[in-house]
Every structure is written in C-alpha cells, then in structure tokens.
Amino acid sequence: MTWDSLYRTNQQVWGDKPSELATFACNYLQGIKPPSKAIDILDLGCGYGRDAMYLARNIKCQVFGIDDSSEAIEMAQKSLADDLKLCVKFQCGDFRQMNNGKFDIVFTSNVYHLLKSDDRNAFRNTIDKNVKPGGMLFFSTLSLSDPEHFGKGKRIENEDNSFEDKVFIHFCTREEMERDFSFLTIKELFEYEFYESRSNGEIHHHILWMFMGVKRQDL
C-alpha cells in the first residue's frame, strides 16, 4: 500500500491530536525564553499537518511542512484553519529535492525509520543543510525496544536492525543516533513508550527514541 492509498483509505489515520514528539517539542520550547520574533520551523514528512498546526497554535512560529504524499498535503491544506493560513504552509515534494534553507527548528516525527540506508544518509544531509547554526532538531524514530514491529517480518541483509513486514522499518540504537547525528550537540535522547490509536480502531504499542539536538555554531 502506498502512502497516498493509505491516507485515501484511512484519512487521518493517527487522528487529529499531535504526535508525542510535537507535544515534547511544544513543552520544551514553552519552557525556554520566548523568541523576540516568530521562529521558522521545517516539518519534514508533515503528513496531513496535525503537528504543523499544533505547533503553530502553541508557539510563535512560521511552519513549512513538506511531504511526498499528494493525498496527505491535500488533506492538510483542506483542514488548515483560516487563522493559520499566514503562518503555516504545505508543499508536496521530495526532501531530496528541497532547496536548502536555514530554519530555527527542523522537526521530523516518525519518518526516519521508514528510510533505507542511502535515504537515511540523504535525510540527515537535508537536516544538516536546513537547520541554522544554533538551531534545533526535534526528531523521533523507532527503537530496538519497540514491541509492535521489531523482529517481525523479513530481516534485511546489509541493513542492521531492519525488517520488512508490509513496509520497511529500521530500528535505531542509541549508539547509532549519537554517531549519525554528531553534527549536533545532543541535549535530549531518551526512549519513550506509548500506545497509539489508529482511525480503524487498532491500538499499537510503541517505544520511540525522542531526540533534541542543537546545531553547533562552528559548523
């Protein structure tokens, strides 16, 4: 099943509440000194926009959301309230083809574990090129501790801790995160357990890595 067909069939498959990462990011940002002007946020893999709209409602910011599913972007644009249209923009596109910009925050929830090795490298490169020195990355991805998916399906050769069961999923270790995001100073890195409700009534039990890092000023 493609992402377009998933969204077409299930619509808001994860509901309209924010993701765990969006709640974490909002709480973190509300706890520090507020910026003098609106901060720029890039939401990579924004889906149907639930996190972008939540962040815009709760933080003084401008959000640019990008996703390669045209169905998801159409849903996001249709559900965007009039009072958010000046501060939230959505675009259908491939992160590999993005023009490099400089954002105060790059935000990406549960995208990384769906990418194979070469695409993960490209994704990190996109993050590196788009977060300002001193800017932040808020990031979540599945841990090896995930009880819902880890170890299920076909193990992928030459892809450590990766399996395919309907979709490809890669599971990260702490050491991998620390190594591959070494262009950031890690401020938060912890496992987070939760139960995820789906629009079809299913409940999934997950354990994620929650990550926040700051781009070093010397890069």
What are 11-42's pLDDT values in tens digits? 666 667 899 999 999 999 998 877 778 899 99
Q: CA–CA separation, 183 vs 216, rounded Å? A: 7
> What is the DSSP secondary-structure string of 16-52?
SSPPHHHHHHHHHHHTSPPPSSPEEEEEET-TTSHHH
Q: CA–CA separation, 49 vs 65, rounded Å? A: 7
Q: CA–CA separation, 106 vs 55, rounded Å? A: 12
pTM: 0.93
Answer whether residue 219 shows pLDDT above 60. no
Question: Model confidence over 163-198: pLDDT tens digits?
Answer: 999 899 999 999 999 999 999 999 999 999 999 887
204 backbone dihedrals φ, ψ, rounded to 5°? -110, 140
Q: CA–CA separation, 122 vs 179, rounded Å? A: 15
Answer whether residue 63 shows pLDDT above 70. yes
**For the purposes of burial, counting CB atoms within 10 Å of the CB of 143, is it exposed (0-12), middle (13-18) or buried (19 or more)?**
buried
The average pLDDT across 130-151 equals 96
Answer whether residue 79 shows pLDDT above 70. yes
Sorted by where each starts, the structural domains of the chain and their CATH numbers stand as 3-28+38-144+174-215 (3.40.50.150)
In this prediction, residue 199 carries a pLDDT of 74
Q: 63-77 b/e with 16+ CB inside 10 Å = b? A: bbbbbebebbbbbbb
